[in-house]
Structure 1
Amino acid sequence: MSAHLIVLANEKGGTGKSTTAVHIGVALALAGRATALIDLDSRQRTSTRYLENRWLHAQRHGLTLPAPDVAVVADGENAVAELALRLEQASGLDFIVIDSPGRDSDLARAAMARADTLVTPINDSFVDFDLIGEVEGENYTVTKPSFYAELVWEARTRRARSEGRPMDWVVLRNRLSALDARNKQRVGAALEALSRRVGFRVMPGLSERVIFREFFPRGLTLLDRAAIAEFSLSHVAARAELRALIAGLNLPGFAELPAS
């Protein structure tokens, strides 16, 4: 498979996986890259619904809104085999984005093991940090990696041995506070310390903004400048965050988003 595989994975719900997955997929499509999105959460189908809303909004208003092709793979007895088949048959694509469910499953693990770029969004709190590392309660120093970090480490090791290809693991700090609060500093320091031990990169993600929720019914993103009637300063700031996120992923053969 020649397509670069970007997997959004985290066993906690509510961390912004689907929102981030859709925005990455749309950004790549807007840049003219042949992109597909595979939704592994067949129950909620958030990313699928987002892109369906995008198609319907474009049809109603006569707009051209580039988007990745979307498919759903339901968890079940043959799910891992179905995912493998879809990836093997994905000819002519530059990128495939996979949106994993917020729970552990054989299907989610299979997707993670195949990732070229693994993106783990977390909310900026020690509740979410606990997924990847444990901290000492008095001074917040990292004591050891948690179960999920160990799971990723094992998957990366197996991949390197069997395929000789690296996996770029990115931990995305979503819903960052605009204030330089003490909790923000502590979480940041813990992430940097753990990143040196288990080998992931830390990046700022998408802030907590109402506009991301408001755009869902229309399937729009901050990159759809021409389709947004009132473009405010808040939109400008959110758009800059999104562009920085895409650039920071360091995707192969992808320099930058179009300026428009």
Structure 2
Amino acid sequence: MTQPSQHQAQVIVVGNEKGGAGKSTLAIHIACGLMHAGRKVAILDLDLRQRSMAHFFSHRAAWTAANGVTLPMPVQPDLGDGKALARAEEAEQLARFEAAFSEAVVSGAEVILIDTPGGDTALSRAAHARADQIVTPMNDSFVDFDMLGTVDPVTLDLLKPSTYSESVWEARKHRAIKEGRHAAIDWIVVVNRMAVAEARNRRRLEERMLKLAKRVGFRVGPGLRDRVIYRELFPFGLTVADLSNEVRPVAVSLAHVAARQEMRNLMQALGLDDVSLPALEAA
């Protein structure tokens, strides 16, 4: 993992400016992977209206209590009523974010994981400015690639970075000015929800991804495929990382075992190789 900045905690921001790319699903799995690696994690869910990550961990607390199970839980600094905060002025939103971020630091969290909303908001910009590592999910299509780069509609040649790429560049520049060159932000783009796709279109997309990666400075990593497994565990507040021979609210199959390896690959791409998952045998 990259070196943390002056506040000492490692800050990971899951973000892009497009909805539906799987930010919250990715954030949930990263948080659980980190906790299974023994890290103390604090989470900030800045998707104020949806609050999927906050709801997930609320489900987790309820399910483990009802079933007499102990699973790692993150620190959750108080952001207040999300819907009310979403209607508040930017200054109030930013003040609440700074207070919650400080609470996460004081808690002794080793990692602060921030899930951001889809869109360019003051809260999202503030979170990106704090990042040591930015993880950007995108679906396996040129629709999502448009968030990162613009292509020629005739030749599909890469023309220029898009708005979100430019905003990450600005965050990196301001961070370097404020904290020095050593405080570089590590940016990883992961392809989520990969399904069966026409090979030529996927090859075209991969070629543009690699060109843009060299141009604006991100790494390409593995994401999470479009699996029913990830969705069916959400109501329990569980991920495939939590499943074991004792914790299995659904029937476990070889697909669950494969999904755990997929999650390991994701965590390794983030620079975390010491994730220790419970033993799990398919039925």
Normalised to the residue count of structure 2, the TM-score between the two structures is: 0.87
Matched, 1:52 2:66: no
Q: How far apart, CA to CA, are the structure 2 residues paired with 1:113 and 1:168? A: 12
Of residues 129-138 and 173-182 in structure 1, the stretch that sits farther from structure 2 once superposed is 173-182
Divergent runs of 4+, >3 A: 71-76
Instruction: Label 1:140 to 1:221 Cα distance change in 2 as closer, same or farther (>3 A).
Output: same
Q: How far apart, CA to CA, are the structure 1 residues paired with 2:277 and 2:115? A: 27
Alignment of 1:13-162 (within 5 A): 13-71=19-77, 73=79, 74-75=85-86, 76-77=88-89, 78-89=92-103, 90-91=105-106, 92-162=108-178
Identical-pair percentage: 46
CA contact (8 A) 1:176 1:184 kept: no
CA contact (8 A) 1:42 1:72 kept: no
Q: How far apart, CA to CA, are the structure 1 residues paired with 2:266 and 2:18? A: 21
Q: How far apart, CA to CA, are the structure 2 residues paired with 1:67 and 1:19? A: 16
> Deviation at 1:33?
1.1
Matched, 1:222 2:240: yes
> Deviation at 1:72?
5.7
Matched, 1:244 2:260: no
Q: What is the CA deviation profile of residues 224-251 of structure 1, one whole-angstrom value per residue up to 9, with x for unaligned ones?
A: 122125321111111111111011111x
> Deviation at 1:61?
0.7
Q: Secondary structure at the match of 1:185?
A: helix
Instruction: Label 1:70 to 1:88 Cα distance change in 2 as closer, same or farther (>3 A).
Output: closer
Count residues with an aligned counterpart.
257
Q: How far apart, CA to CA, are the structure 2 residues paired with 1:67 and 1:182? A: 43
CA contact (8 A) 1:40 1:72 kept: no
Q: How far apart, CA to CA, are the structure 1 residues paired with 2:77 and 2:234? A: 18
CA contact (8 A) 1:118 1:167 kept: yes
CA contact (8 A) 1:30 1:67 kept: no
Q: Secondary structure at the match of 2:76?
A: strand
Q: Please tell me the residue identity of whatever aligns with 1:8.
A: V
Match of 2:4 in 1: none
Q: Please tell me the residue identity of whatever aligns with 2:140.
A: D
For structure 1, the 5+ residue unaligned runs are none
Match of 2:206 in 1: 188
Q: How far apart, CA to CA, are the structure 2 residues paired with 1:105 and 1:72? A: 20
CA contact (8 A) 1:2 1:93 kept: no
Q: What is the CA deviation profile of residues 20-50 of structure 1, one whole-angstrom value per residue up to 9, with x for unaligned ones?
A: 1011111111222110110001211111111
Instruction: Label 1:180 to 1:94 Cα distance change in 2 as closer, same or farther (>3 A).
Output: farther
For structure 2, the 5+ residue unaligned runs are 1-6, 80-84, 279-283
Q: Please tell me the residue identity of whatever aligns with 1:231.
A: V
> Deviation at 1:88?
2.8
Normalised to the residue count of structure 1, the TM-score between the two structures is: 0.94
> Deviation at 1:177?
2.5
Matched, 1:175 2:218: no
Instruction: Label 1:88 to 1:197 Cα distance change in 2 as closer, same or farther (>3 A).
Output: same
Q: Please tell me the residue identity of whatever aligns with 2:255.
A: S
Structure 1 vs Structure 2 CA RMSD: 1.5
Q: Secondary structure at the match of 1:5?
A: strand
Q: Secondary structure at the match of 1:223?
A: coil
Q: How far apart, CA to CA, are the structure 1 residues paired with 2:258 and 2:202? A: 20
Q: How far apart, CA to CA, are the structure 1 residues paired with 2:143 and 2:198? A: 19
